[in-house]
Chains A and B, each alone.
Chain A
Amino acid sequence: MPPRGLWERAGRTAYLAFCTAVFVFLIAPIVVIVPLSFNAEPYFTFTEGMLRLEPAAYSLRWYQNVMGDPEWRHALLNSLFIGVAATVLATTLGTLAALGLTHPALPGRSAIMGLLISPMITPVIISAAGMFFFYSNLGLTQTHLGLVLAHATLGTPFVVITVTATLAGFDPNLYRAAASLGAGPLRTFRRVVLPLIAPGVISGALFAFATSFDEVVTVLFMGGLEQRTVPRQMWTGIREQISPAILAVATLLIAFSLLFMLSVEWLRRRAGTR
């Protein structure tokens, strides 16, 4: 170890303090919400009882509120239905496209790639406005199908990117070996390719699902009363009557996203694409 000057040590401490502050900035808001969702009082700040850790200051009333509310239940079903349907669509189309994109002789690959990931790069307010105009001509606004198509569109770039990345790390010899052993293309695909790209496909699917599950702009523009999703309910809740029930939903969603994140990370490690 080279000897360090005083300045360098001070600089390093300042640097670490800065990074810590940024991490706190990133995490604190999310952490703060969780205990507040157990507040027995309808306030958004810690009551004295909560700080003294009195059990009476905490309650599950906001969770009961949310669970007992048919609107939230309906919203959850909508979110799940739209999310799953959009994910299936996005994952199927996206995986096929990624397989095609990795073919070295595919003409105009860069242009195609640009087109396929454009929904991710376009500000969603613009996509949503365009979709509203186009889908209302087709009578698809205020239908579940319209939102499934919209969310699938927004989710495909993630599938394309993750699966392409997984495929990029593969040894083509594996496929040649399978072919030389007499396996037909479909069989080889099922037995060799699919297992290998599965982590990429699944993490792409999770990305797509998370995109749909968190999406609110297209729902605001195109959804009707029957298509209220969880984020849409939260939107109204935040704008109009922010009650701690929102915090209970938020906490549930945090748990949900943690689950998602850990699955994706686990799959990524597995696939060794990083």
Chain B
Amino acid sequence: MSSKRPADGGVFALFGPQLRAVGLVLPLVAFIGLTFVAPLATMLSRSVYDPVVAAALPETLRLLQAWDGVHVPPEPVFETIARELRTARQERSLGRVATRINRVRGGLRSVLTRTARRVREAEGPAWRDTLVGIHAAWDDVQTWHAIRRAGERFTARHYLHALDLERRSDGHIAPRPDEYRVYVSLLWRTLVVSLSLTGLCLLLGYPVAYLIAHAPPQRANLLLLLVLVPFWTSLLVRTTAWIVLLQTQGVINSTLVALGLIADESRLAMIYNMTGTMVAMTHVLLPFMVLPLYAVMRTIPRLHMSAAASLGASTIQAFWRVYWPQTLPGVGAGSLLVFILAIGYYITPALVGGRSGQLISNMIAYHMQTSLNWGLAAAIGGLLLAFVLVLYLVYDRLVGIERMRLG
């Protein structure tokens, strides 16, 4: 390859050929590929691919391919599904199958599990009557539509669901019933909260970064510590601290009561709501704004502003025309970091957000851990990931990702 080229760069003067550089990077690239990229790919495939029903009810689904979709299917379909449900129960996959069909059409879980349980004793040949006898839902074409739909290996269902949409049995896409609609408004809320947090952090962080960047070195170091201490302190510790401060019987309320500023029975509700989420998250994210701003500001000589001032510009003009533009890379880096951290935040809203302070990431966790609707969790994750990727690319075009610094 390039062995004839003179070794020209830094450390690699001693490693020789460029191949070595690739060799050095390769282990980590492979590692990240395996432990990070592959998981994300798995998640994305989960959001569109689900073979569970297709694997458990292969014959039924094959027969349903030929079904007219208007009348209740013929006797052989009943016989087949009775057999396949029984097998699924023996193989302990019935729960997974029923859950998935139930997500397409609510109420079918119990129809399927009950049928699988009772059909053991049942005998042919009147399978249709037997099944309808177990549950009247077997006489409803919608049940069969749902089974056929759940049997699709590839599906856009989860993405539709994540956008509060669904595909009706006639094939067209429509909004879900009002009482189940939640994701779009939650995505919107997350976006608004993240933008507000970014704005708030910039508002609080910019003056502070300026103060630190242009203070005499001794004092600057001390002030910087005040930002670094929260930055390094465990997230859970800081969240605990806010609970201690903000709760009804907490430090702030008790102080206000002791000072006679509020009555004992009208203590303020500052936590387990959106206020709690906003306050605690601002605290968590502020250092991520201050540090990049500081890193940029300390390279800007104050001379520039004094020069502008001596040329007759007012302080505000001098700041706006001369100083602010030079800090834009820091503003960009800090805002990107804060925004991206904010839209994916889970721990703090979960602990101090109560009901109204929940964000979209809490829904991902809910579907990962409680409802076990992993396809939906993956789809919401996929939407969020796409959004972050776009931001990331925009940032790379505007500022350059290599300039990402840790303050």
Interface size on B, residues (CB 8 A): 99
- The reply on A85 being an interface residue by CB < 8 A is no
Task: List residues of chain A with CB within 8 A of the CB of B286.
Answer: 22, 25-26
Task: List residues of chain B with CB within 8 A of the CB of A19.
Answer: 207-208, 211
Task: List residues of chain A with CB within 8 A of the CB of B233.
Answer: 30, 253-254, 257
A44 to B271 CA separation, bound complex (whole angstroms): 14
Which of B143-151, B160-168, B169-177, B376-384 participates in binding chain A?
Answer: B376-384
- The reply on B365 being an interface residue by CB < 8 A is yes
A250 with B240: in contact, given A26-B227, A153-B36, A188-B14 (CB under 8 Å)? yes
Task: List residues of chain B with CB within 8 A of the CB of A185.
Answer: 14-16
Interface size on A, residues (CB 8 A): 105
Q: Name the residue on B nearest A94 (C-beta).
A: B28
What's the minimum C-beta distance from B235 to chain A, rounded to whole angstroms? 6
Task: List residues of chain B with CB within 8 A of the CB of A40.
Answer: none
Instruction: State which of A23, A121, A137 has its C-beta within 8 Å of the C-beta of B42.
Output: A137
A131 to B5 CA separation, bound complex (whole angstroms): 42
- The reply on A62 being an interface residue by CB < 8 A is no
Instruction: State which of B16, B22, B237 has its C-beta within 8 Å of the C-beta of A100.
Output: B22
Which of A52-60, A67-75, A215-223 participates in binding chain B?
Answer: A215-223
**A133 close to B14 (CB less than 8 A):** no
A130 with B232: in contact, given A29-B283, A123-B388, A216-B347 (CB under 8 Å)? no
A131 with B35: in contact, given A106-B18, A117-B404, A214-B236 (CB under 8 Å)? yes
- The reply on B269 being an interface residue by CB < 8 A is no
B290-315 contacts to A, CB under 8 A, are: 295, 315
Chain B window 201-231, contacts with chain A (Cβ cutoff 8 Å), 1 for yes, 0 for no = 0001101100100000000000101111111
- The reply on A158 being an interface residue by CB < 8 A is yes
**B346 close to A158 (CB less than 8 A):** no
Instruction: State which of A26, A179, A265 has its C-beta within 8 Å of the C-beta of B13.
Output: A179
Chain A window 27-59, contacts with chain B (Cβ cutoff 8 Å), 1 for yes, 0 for no = 111101100100000011110000000000000
Instruction: State which of B24, B236, B250, B377 has its C-beta within 8 Å of the C-beta of A235.
Output: B236
What's the minimum C-beta distance from A78 to chain B, rounded to whole angstroms? 15
Task: List residues of chain B with CB within 8 A of the CB of A32.
Answer: 241, 244-245, 251
What's the minimum C-beta distance from B386 to chain A, rounded to whole angstroms? 10
What's the minimum C-beta distance from A180 to chain B, rounded to whole angstroms? 10
**A161 close to B229 (CB less than 8 A):** no
Instruction: State which of A117, A123, A239 has its C-beta within 8 Å of the C-beta of B340.
Output: A123
What's the minimum C-beta distance from B388 to chain A, rounded to whole angstroms? 6
- The reply on A271 being an interface residue by CB < 8 A is no
Could you jot down 18 A-B contacts, CB within 8 Å?
A: A30-B238, A94-B28, A96-B27, A100-B23, A101-B25, A104-B9, A106-B21, A122-B36, A122-B388, A125-B345, A125-B384, A126-B344, A134-B39, A153-B36, A162-B406, A172-B9, A175-B11, A260-B232
A97, A117, A129, A133 — most chain B CB neighbours (10 Å): A129
Task: List residues of chain A with CB within 8 A of the CB of B240.
Answer: 33, 234, 238, 242, 246-247, 250
- The reply on B122 being an interface residue by CB < 8 A is no
- DSSP majority for the B interface? helix
**B368 close to A132 (CB less than 8 A):** yes
- The reply on B374 being an interface residue by CB < 8 A is yes
- The reply on B243 being an interface residue by CB < 8 A is yes
**B315 close to A8 (CB less than 8 A):** yes
Chain A window 109-129, contacts with chain B (Cβ cutoff 8 Å), 1 for yes, 0 for no = 010111111110111111101
Q: Name the residue on A nearest B40 (C-beta).
A: A130
A29 with B242: in contact, given A45-B254, A133-B39, A161-B404 (CB under 8 Å)? yes
- The reply on A149 being an interface residue by CB < 8 A is yes
- The reply on B46 being an interface residue by CB < 8 A is yes
**B13 close to A172 (CB less than 8 A):** yes
A197 to B26 CA separation, bound complex (whole angstroms): 20
Task: List residues of chain A with CB within 8 A of the CB of B392.
Answer: 114, 121
- The reply on A80 being an interface residue by CB < 8 A is no
Task: List residues of chain A with CB within 8 A of the CB of B317.
Answer: none
A224 to B68 CA separation, bound complex (whole angstroms): 48
Task: List residues of chain B with CB within 8 A of the CB of A28.
Answer: 245
Interface residues of B (CB under 8 A from A): 2, 5, 8-16, 18, 20-29, 31-32, 35-43, 46, 204-205, 207-208, 211, 223, 225-245, 247, 249-251, 254, 283, 286-287, 295, 315, 340-341, 343-347, 351, 361, 364-365, 368-369, 374, 377-378, 381, 384-385, 388, 392, 396, 400-402, 404-406
Task: List residues of chain B with CB within 8 A of the CB of A270.
Answer: none
What's the minimum C-beta distance from B50 to chain A, rounded to whole angstroms? 12
Task: List residues of chain A with CB within 8 A of the CB of B20.
Answer: 100, 103
**A178 close to B22 (CB less than 8 A):** no
Instruction: State which of B8, B16, B226, B295 has its C-beta within 8 Å of the C-beta of A104.
Output: B8
Task: List residues of chain A with CB within 8 A of the CB of B25.
Answer: 96-97, 100-101, 106, 112
Q: Name the residue on B nearest A25 (C-beta).
A: B283
A23, A126, A265 — most chain B CB neighbours (10 Å): A126
**B368 close to A238 (CB less than 8 A):** no
- The reply on A64 being an interface residue by CB < 8 A is no
- The reply on A201 being an interface residue by CB < 8 A is no
- The reply on A261 being an interface residue by CB < 8 A is yes
Q: Name the residue on A nearest B13 (C-beta).
A: A175
**A238 close to B229 (CB less than 8 A):** no
Task: List residues of chain B with CB within 8 A of the CB of A36.
Answer: 244, 251
Chain A window 229-261, contacts with chain B (Cβ cutoff 8 Å), 1 for yes, 0 for no = 001001100110010001100100110011011
